[in-house]
Structure 1
Amino acid sequence: MLACGVWASVLCLRVSISPPRDEPLRFNRARKKLYAYNFKYCWWNPFTTWKVEAVCYDWSQVRAERWSQTGALPNGGVIFKWGVMLSIVAPGTNNVIDRFHLSTMGADQHAWAYICTYMQEGPSALPPPGEPKDHNDVLWCEFALRLAPKVSWPADMDLESRTAP
């Protein structure tokens, strides 16, 4: 019983403070690439190393998948969640090799349409974007996020994802 309690406590602590403050995606139209700040973890083993992998994929490998999930609450209510995942497929196949959340309970297909228009036609075909978000900026009341690691792209990937070839 004590071992289960220690395992559960360590898992809850790691789940709260180990993931980065955000997992941003970058789309580089000039290079036709998607850059992702991807957090990899093992949910059943809180004692292993959890790490961030900054990855890069060709735009031709990106697909969008819409998902929904329904769950029942103990009081008889129902929870309904939906979103869009970006799936990365192996070249020349439809075998998924990686996935990233694009949105949950948000803009969904509108975000995907915006990204596709940007990648295919450029920024002139879109309304002007809003202010860029600082992925390390968190509210004062989000204590676990304040303890979480800041978003820090590798220097070479940061430069490549922001510039043309």
Structure 2
Amino acid sequence: MVFLFCLSFGAWSISLFWKLDVASPRDLPLRFNRTRNRIYAYNFNYRWWNPFERWRVEPVAYDWSQVRAERWLKRGATAQGGLVIKGGVVLSIVKPGTNEVIDRFPLTTMGADAHAWAYICTYMQQGPDALPPPGPPKDHNDIPWYNAALLLAPKVKWPANMDLESRTAP
């Protein structure tokens, strides 16, 4: 009986970890369109406990007025007795007229979390002239040759109509 449990748990674990590596998209980009006053997100939906179902990407668009930023901080201890502190910023989408959160997207983990949110707010409220020039755009499908798991992962591909809408003015 224990052998069967271990065998089924092992099969489930292998399936889950394999799928986490090769089914998740290479990146989860966010796009901000100031002229349309909208945010576009590459939303990956999955259930970690069921690696046998089809996980999918659902690109979504929301009005800028629905976006809120939430800062999170997590403290924990390591087995060696050290302290680990992780933090970041999550963009929360609220139902219009309420504070009920209907969706969330990670903006950053560690690094320049508050700075990234301030940069985005300045861009959306005052425009690109109020900011220092950005760096070169990132290709979300450009993966280093040595990252085998991400090379097997699906490429970021926006639906044609949403790709056009997120890049152009009304």
What's the TM-score once normalised by structure 2's chain length? 0.96
Confirm or deny that 1:120 pairs with 2:146.
Answer: no
Question: Which amino acid in 1 is paired with 2:67?
Answer: V
Aligned to 2:89, which of 56, 79, 84?
A: 84
Q: 2:60 aligns with which of 46, 55, 58?
A: 55
3-state SS of paired residue (1:12): helix
1:39 lines up with 2:44 in the alignment = yes
Distance 1:78 1:147 in 2: 34
Shift of the alpha carbon at 1:30?
Answer: 0.4
**What SS does structure 1 have at the residue aligned with 2:93?**
strand
Which of 128, 132, 143 is the equivalent residue of 2:137?
132
Alpha-carbon distance in 2 for matches of 1:43, 1:72: 24
Q: Distance in 2 between matches of 1:141 and 1:107?
A: 26
* Equivalence for 1:26: 31
| Runs of 5+ consecutive residues of structure 1 not aligned to the other structure | none
User: Normalised by the size of structure 1, how large is the TM-score?
Assistant: 0.99
Aligned residues: 165
Which runs of at least 4 in structure 1 moved beyond 3 Å after TM superposition? none
> What percentage of residue pairs aligned between the two structures are identical?
67
SS, match of residue 57 in structure 2: strand
The answer as to 2:107 corresponding to 1:102 is yes
Question: Using the alignment, how far apart are the partners of 1:68 and 1:142 within structure 2?
Answer: 29
The alpha-carbon deviation at position 72 of structure 1 amounts to 1.3
Q: Which has more radius of gyration?
A: 2
CA-CA distance at 1:70 after TM superposition: 1.1
Cα distance between partner residues in 2 of 1:5 and 1:110? 43
SS at match of 1:36: strand
